[in-house]
Amino acid sequence: MKNKISWLAAPYVIWMALIVVAPIIMVVIYAFTTAQGGITLDNFARMGTYTVIFTRSFQLALVATIICLLLGYPLAYVMAKEGPGFQRIAMVLIMLPMWVNFLLRTYAWMAILENNGILNNFFEAIGLFDLINGIFGTDLTYFRMIRTQGAVVLGMVYNYLPFMVLPIYSVIIKLDHSLLEAARDLGANSALVFRKVIFPLSLPGVLSGVTMVFVPSVSTFAISRMLGGNNQMLLGNLIEQQFLGGAYNPYLGSAIALVMMVIVIVCMVVMNHFGEGEEQAVML
């Protein structure tokens, strides 16, 4: 019977070969070809020019991931300590923003952060600028927030924070309470319990959260476009440019995407070496 059941997966295996594996193979092929169809390494040779963009993207994504972890871990932790009813509401509250299109939410941030936007208007109204100008003798009428790298990081943190909280929460909530009690009985204070028991055990959740924040952050093009003022390209913008932007060059675009993918996979493998999570995506 066992073998008969397993045939149920056969259609999906064929589907994956077609729609998941074949496209990726095509990206690899494209990366090594020219528009005329010849095989070439030129696409990779040009990568040197883009080193700055690679570094910048990985830096910003790393910063966003760290901030997400610093904000998200405590949140998941205190949520897991609440009663079941409260927990359920908190969960819903974290999932709910996803139902408002992320572009619109980011657009709302544009209105908040603009030079003449809501936040600056608010500071103006409470007299913050007058105060600062009075003290420092400056001539400040607004804080420059939008079209900076800080705004891009804020957009990433805002959009991807739930992806950090959910996996960590779902791991903490499943922790075996007898372990914690045992640790306490053996004389560990709560800080020690956290450091020696809870944190190591929640590591799979952290790793999966880090992945789920880092990968979309490093490859975003909408957030940098909307909040970054297009001043400095990120990897996502560079790739998008090659496919749907001015410089139509899918071969170069594929090569950049491929290099990005390889770097990300290497990061994942190295990271997962430290903690082992059998099932990567523990979303819920």
Partner 1 sequence: MKKITALTLACSLALGLFLSGCAMEESASGSSSYNFTAGSGSTAGNNSSSTESGKREVNVCSWGEYIDESLIYKFEEETGIKVNYNTAPSNEELYSLLQSGGVNYDVIVPSDYMIARLISEDMLQPLDYSKIPNYEKIDEQYKGLSFDPNNEYTVPYTWGTLGIIYNTTMVNEPITSWEVMFSDEYAGNILLIDNSRDAFGMALYYLGYDVNTTDEAQIREAAQLVADAKARGVYDGQGMDEVFQIMEGGNLAIATYYAGDFLSMHENNPDLAFCVPEEGSNWFVDAMCILKNAKNVDEAHEWINFIASTDSNLANMDYIWYASPNAEALEKYPAYYEETYGEPLDQELYEIMAAPKDVLARCSMYENLPAETLALYNDLWIELGI
Partner 2 sequence: MKQYRIGSRFYMALIFLFLYAPILLLVVFSFNNANSNVVWQGFSLRWYEELFRDRQVMGAVYNTLLVSVLATAISTVVGTFTAVGLFGMRRRFRDPVLTVNNIPIMNADIVTGVALCIFFVTAIAVWNGMIVDGWNGFVTYLEENFRRTLPRMAEMKMGFTTLLLAHISFDIPYVILNVLPKLRQMDRSLIDAAQDLGCTWMGAFWKVVVPEIKPGIVSGALIAFTMSVDDFVISYFTAGSASTLSIQIYGMVRKRVSPELNAVSTLLFGVVLVLLIIINVRESRQEKRLSARK
What part of residues 155-214 is at the interface with partner 1 (CB under 8 A)? none
Distance CA 27, CA 47 (A): 16
How many Cα atoms within 13 Å fall on the side-chain side of residue 222? 12
Q: Which of 77, 143, 194, 243 binds partner 1 (CB under 8 A)?
A: 243
Q: Is 189:44 a contact under the CB 8 Å cutoff?
A: no
Choices 128-136, 214-222, 246-254, 274-282 (CB under 8 A): range interacting with partner 1: 246-254
C-alpha distances (whole Å) from 146 to each of 24, 67, 108, 121, 156 are 36, 19, 12, 14, 14
Minimum distance, C-beta of residue 248 to partner 1, in the bound complex (Å): 4
Q: Is 132:168 a contact under the CB 8 Å cutoff?
A: no
Task: Tell whether residue 231 is a contact of partner 1 (CB under 8 A).
Answer: yes
Q: Which of 238, 231, 230 is nearest to 255 (CA)?
A: 238
Q: Which residues contact 165 (CB under 8 A, 6 or more apart)?
A: 72, 75, 76, 79, 94, 209
How many Cα atoms within 13 Å fall on the side-chain side of residue 22? 7
Choices 10-18, 36-44, 132-140, 269-277 (CB under 8 A): range interacting with partner 2: 10-18
Q: Which of 69, 117, 140, 199 binds partner 2 (CB under 8 A)?
A: 117
Ranges within 53-72 binding partner 2 (CB under 8 A): 71
Q: Which of 7, 51, 139, 276 binds partner 2 (CB under 8 A)?
A: 7
Q: Which helix (H) or strand (E) holds 1?
A: none
Residue 233 interaction partner, one of partner 2, partner 1, none, beta carbon < 5-8 Å per kind? partner 1
Q: Which of 41, 45, 70, 95 binds partner 2 (CB under 8 A)?
A: 95
Q: Which of 65, 219, 224, 241 binds partner 2 (CB under 8 A)?
A: 219
Minimum distance, C-beta of residue 128 to partner 2, in the bound complex (Å): 18
Minimum distance, C-beta of residue 130 to partner 2, in the bound complex (Å): 21
Task: Tell whether residue 283 is a contact of partner 2 (CB under 8 A).
Answer: yes
Distance CA 65, CA 68 (A): 5
Query: Pattern of binders to partner 1 over 105-144, x per CB under 8 A?
Result: -----x---xxxx--------------------------x
- Residue listed under structure tokens 């009663």: 83
Task: Report the sign of the C-alpha dihedral through residues 271, 277, 281, 282, in that order.
Answer: negative
Is the Cβ of residue 213 or residue 223 nearer to partner 1 in the bound state?
223
Q: Which residues bind partner 1 (CB under 8 A)?
A: 49-50, 52-53, 110, 114-117, 144, 146-147, 228-233, 243-248, 250
